[in-house]
Amino acid sequence: MLSAEQIRNSFIDFFRDKGHEFVPSSPIVPIGDETLLFANAGMNQFKDIFLGLVSPDYGRAVNSQKCLRVSGKHNDLEEVGKDTYHHTFFEMLGNWSFDDYFKAEAIEWAWELLTKVWGIGAESLWATVFAGNEADGLPRDDEAAGLWTKVTPIPAERVLAFGKKDNFWEMGEVGPCGPCSEIHIDLGPGICDKKGVSGHKCAVNGGCSRFIELWNLVFIQYNRADGDKLIELGAKYVDTGAGLERLAAVLQKKESNYDTDLFMPIVEGIAEITGHKYTSKLNNNVDNAFRVISDHIRSLTFAITDGATPSNEGRGYVIRRILRRASRFGRELGMHEPFMYKLVPVVVDFLGDAFGEIRERADYVSTVIESEEESFGRTLDRGIEIFNTAAKRAQKSKDKVINGEDAFQLYDTYGFPLDLTELMAEERGLKVDTSKFNELMEEQRQRARAAQKSASLISALADVKLPTTKDLHKYHTDSFESEIVGFVDQKGFRNEGSVEDGDEAGIVLGGTCFYAEAGGQVGDCGVIESGQARFIVENTVRIADCVIHRGKVAEGSLAMGQTVKAVVSKDRDSIKKNHTATHLLQWALQQVMGKSVAQQGSLVGPDYLRFDFTCPKALTGEQIKKVENLVREKIAENLPLTCVVMPRAEAEKLGAMALFGEKYGSEVRVVAIGAANEELIKEAFSREFCGGTHCDNTGQIGSFKIVKEESISAGVRRITALTGAGLSKYLEERGEIVERLSEMLKTSAEALVERVERLMKENKKLAKQLKSGIRQAGPDTMAEAKKLLEKCEKVGSTSVVIGRLETTSVERAREAIDMLKKKAKSAAVVLGFDEEGKVTLLAGMTDDLVKKGLKAGDIVKAIAPIVDGGGGGRPQMAQAGGKKPEKIKDALARARELIKEKLCEV
């Protein structure tokens, strides 16, 4: 039996033998493509080739691409766990032709590998082709249908035609696309997971597990542009994709993908952690949870490794939803504490050899997942509160249905997938209005699509061969003369005409000294001029090998072929200082915090620099000072910089650091600090892959100061720092503040700290005295408590005393609870108050109630999340804190409900 690793390797070797170049997988987080949240197919990294923006270095390619399908057109998230074959993360084995071979070879080789190399029975295979689409004006793919019976022995009756939904592949709302031909396998009638379902008939594309798609052969001939317009491409391409997980199930003779060696190590890990056993059954809550968690931990490991972090927007929001979905299913296995982070080493053990990056960043991934699990534990409790409220409304309604708005709020705000809400509703004999939920989901998708389309400049330049810009001058000069070779506007690229006064456009020059935005460095601003004509460059961007100067004509007009002078703004010097300082900062951080520090991103502009890096906790004040001093020492040494272009493999041998997630070619530019020339590059203390602009030596930076260190997500810190003119301005502003404070406090700058410390000490003393006075002369807490007792509700002989107090102290509130318990004999007491925005909740139970199972600690744990807090304590007395005074009323109301429910039970 072939292992998954052997299947992957044999696929790659098969196509290598047929002249294909092996190309490593691109990151799951797409580089330089805002039209995609995640890589969802093997062809994503070749998109510029398909669009004709760049020429390929090879005519044929093969790889195993990391893919994530959880958003947009390709979204399998809600299906995961319900069956044996849907996944969010998967490996796509693929082979490509870039205007080399086409349909005949793609079909013939796919059949050869499946039947002759892997030995799959030909009698079990079916093929599908595109049936055509009238709306798009596309005919039936008779060419592919004819080739199936010509180059393979498959009979015509097993070649079926399907419509656009099944046999026309599109990467997203815009982008390359074309008809496809799929290979399906019939696993036999005993495999069907829809047995007994009314009206179901097993068939290709019939929606059951008997017929499974193994391989998709896409023939890319078109580009879908804005406005749903199809444009025929100038060349023809082949893009095939076979999911490794499904191939492994077939070749390992498993009925479920989850029974293969791509999942069983995780399944066994879950069993060890939870104490539950996986039985491979469908429609089983425990087994569904195993499948969801084992799939999602793979997605999270690879996505976080490749630069995605949980957040409330974009791809970070998707990652957060995946993690929360898995975390909630963990509760089906009794896991109420973080546990998924413990599965990361399991994933690394069996996939780390094929994808070394997950091994290198395993500790970081575990830290992020554990932190997010802890956060969701708090959010989940609040979500359950929202669900309970929605469920009570539904129980009072005639149709016993939870409305779609509530279900969507749970999904959108609290990360509750629809299947979870339906499961919880079913437990209470309720249903969910899924039609309204789906309507709200579609509205959200439409908003996302609109934002996606408006963000894409590439879509306006589909299938256009853009000119190559010679831009090496950016490293040597701030002004350069060249000819205009084209213009870019909303309609696309044109190499004729002119731009007039007031026009907003992009200008393309034959050569430029402007730096196009890349690697965290902002694009240059400046001016392009000729005679009286002036074009203000507001930003510079790159598409493939073309540099586009985006801006507006300030006066006059500029025409195609005209010689102009491009002049970069004076901000260039400040950007150089900040960029070189960023390299020094990364080196210094690794000296102080260790080699585990890895760059996660950066922003290098004229005013400041920003550096994101992996680190599990905040830097101390002492560590920040050490980092600053190390950078300043290197600046003071006035060390030279050397920039060398070399083969990537050679640069990696030198230990040059690459920016994680950045796209590099076979040759890279290395910036070395501390080397006077190329021959001495090994002596440099800092070596990084970098295409940015830099100082000639470190002394030009002047000075350096960190002004902020903060967390931006779990396991990722951000430093903001200043150099040059930006630092001078900062110090000047701070100097003015010191002068004003010295004047106000009638003391010198040198004595200012001592004076403020003395004032703070005096203020603290006065505040304490004032608080004591309030207790003595302020609101009478005991009197308030007695009034609450007089008006309280009774359940049997027990007094349920719930209320909000005026400003008091914890000590006085505790005394009030003790008094109430003595007076009432049998009492359940919950009091709340706030002081300067800080919430305190206290609960007290008499011993008779504690014996019946009503505990103060349980009550405060249940209501504390409502005020965004937490707490606990003894069964007789417990306390919680929180941050939302406006929610005290809701928390007390919930406490009343819980106490009454418990009292009614006993």
Q: How far is CA 181 from CA 32, 76, 605, in A?
A: 30, 21, 48
Contact 478, 554 (CB under 8 A): no
Tell me the sheet residues that pair with 808: none
Q: DSSP assignment of 324-393, as one string?
A: HHHHHHHGGGT--S--GGGGHHHHHHHHTTT-HHHHHTHHHHHHHHHHHHHHHHHHHHHHHHHHHHHHHH
* In the predicted structure, residue 702 carries a pLDDT above the cut 50: yes
* Mean pLDDT along residues 404-411: 87
Confidence of residue 453 (pLDDT cuts 50, 70, 90): very low
Instruction: Write out pLDDT tens, residues 855-904.
Output: 999 899 989 999 988 888 888 999 999 989 999 999 999 999 999 888 88
Q: What is the pLDDT of residue 540?
A: 94
b/e string for 23-47 if b means 16 or more Cβ within 10 A? bebbbbbbeebebbbbbbbbbbbbb
8-state DSSP, 173: S
Predicted confidence at residue 29, as pLDDT, reads 87
Predicted confidence (pLDDT) per residue in 38-57, tens digit: 888 888 888 888 777 788 88
Contacts 24+ apart (CB under 8 A), 268-275: 269/342, 269/343, 269/346, 270/294, 270/333, 270/343, 273/335, 273/339, 273/342, 273/343, 274/330, 274/333, 274/334, 274/335, 274/339, 275/334
Residue 871 has a pLDDT of 86
Rounded CA-CA distance 903/897 in Å is 10
Q: Which two tokens stand for residue 779?
A: 């609101």
Please report the pLDDT score of residue 105 as a whole number: 96
Give the pLDDT confidence of 141-172 residue by residue, as tens digits: 999 999 999 999 999 999 999 999 999 988 66
Pairwise CA distance, residues 420 & 515, whole Å: 50
Lowest mean pLDDT among 84-93, 127-136, 721-730, 821-830: 84-93
- Residue 777 is predicted with a pLDDT of 45
Q: Which positions ≥6 away from 752 have C-beta within 8 Å?
A: 738, 741, 742, 745
Question: What confidence score (pLDDT) does residue 457 get?
Answer: 53
- Mean pLDDT value across residues 361-369: 90
Extract the tokens encoding 429.
């004999």
**571-585 confidence digits (pLDDT tens):** 999 999 999 999 999
Q: How far is Cα of residue 507 from the mean position of the Cα atoms in its chain?
A: 34
Q: Is pLDDT above 90 for 71? A: no
The least confident of 328-332, 587-591, 730-734, 767-771 is 767-771
Identify the pLDDT of residue 385.
75
Residue 165 · residue 136 · CB < 8 Å: no
Residue with tokens 């994503």: 44
Pick from 28-42, 449-463, 499-513: least confident: 449-463
Lowest mean pLDDT among 71-80, 83-92, 820-829: 71-80
164-to-42, 65, 147, 563 alpha-carbon distances in Å? 20, 25, 20, 49
Quote the percentage of the chain above a pLDDT of 90.
56
Q: CA-CA distance, 699 to 735, in Å (whole number)?
A: 24
Can you tell me the distance from the alpha carbon of 257 to that of 249, in angstroms, rounded to the nearest whole number? Answer: 5
Per-residue pLDDT tens over the stretch 309-328: 888 677 888 888 889 888 88
Q: Which amino acid is at 241?
A: G
Mean pLDDT across the stretch 223-228?
A: 77
* 878-901: burial string, b at 16+ Cβ within 10 Å, e else: bbbbbeebebbeebbebbbebbbe
pLDDT for residue 174: 77
User: 242-272, pLDDT tens digit by residue?
Assistant: 999 999 999 999 988 999 999 999 999 999 9
Binned at pLDDT 50, 70 and 90, residue 704 comes out as: very high
What are phi and psi for residue 710, nearest 5 degrees?
-150, 165
The pairing of strands 827-835 and 798-804 is parallel
> What would the pLDDT profile of 684-695 be if each residue is shown by its tens digit?
999 999 999 999
> Is the separation of the CB atoms in 542 and 524 below 8 Å?
no
Q: What is the pLDDT of residue 463?
A: 58
Contacts with 367 (C-beta within 8 Å, 6 or more apart), sequence order: 341, 616, 714, 715
* Residue-level pLDDT at 32: 67
Mean pLDDT on 640-649: 91
Task: Give me the chain's average pLDDT, please.
Answer: 88
Q: What pLDDT score was predicted for residue 411?
A: 82
Check whether 442 has a pLDDT greater than 90.
no
656 CB-contact burial (10 Å; exposed 0-12 / middle 13-18 / buried 19+): buried
Q: Which residue has the higher pLDDT, 231 or 161?
A: 161
The pLDDT value recorded for residue 54 is 81
Contact present, 37 and 314 (Cβ < 8 Å): yes
CA 705 to each of CA 635, 686, 730, 739, 882: distance values in angstroms, whole numbers, following the listed order: 12, 19, 10, 21, 36
Please determine, for residue 34, whether its predicted confidence score (pLDDT) is greater than 70: no
- Spatial separation of the C-alpha atoms in residues 268 and 271, rounded to whole Å: 5
Task: Give tens-digit pLDDT for 804-832.
Answer: 988 788 888 898 999 999 998 899 999 99
Is residue 557 within 8 Å of 531, Cβ to Cβ?
no
Q: Which of 134-138, 483-487, 626-630 has the lowest mean pLDDT?
A: 134-138
Q: How far apart are CA 331 and CA 289, in angstroms?
A: 9
Which of 179-193, 454-468, 506-520, 713-727 has the least mean pLDDT?
454-468
Q: At 593, give phi and psi (nearest 5°).
A: -105, -10
Q: Around Cβ 57, how many Cβ atoms within 10 Å?
A: 12
Quick one: CA torsion of 494, 496, 501, 502, rounded to 10 degrees? -10
Predicted local confidence at residue 455, as pLDDT = 45
**Residue range 607-639, pLDDT digits in tens:** 999 999 988 889 999 999 999 999 999 999 999
Could you tell me if 824 and 790 are in contact, meaning their C-beta atoms sit under 8 angstroms apart? no
The predicted pLDDT at position 770 comes to 74
- Residue 416's pLDDT is 75
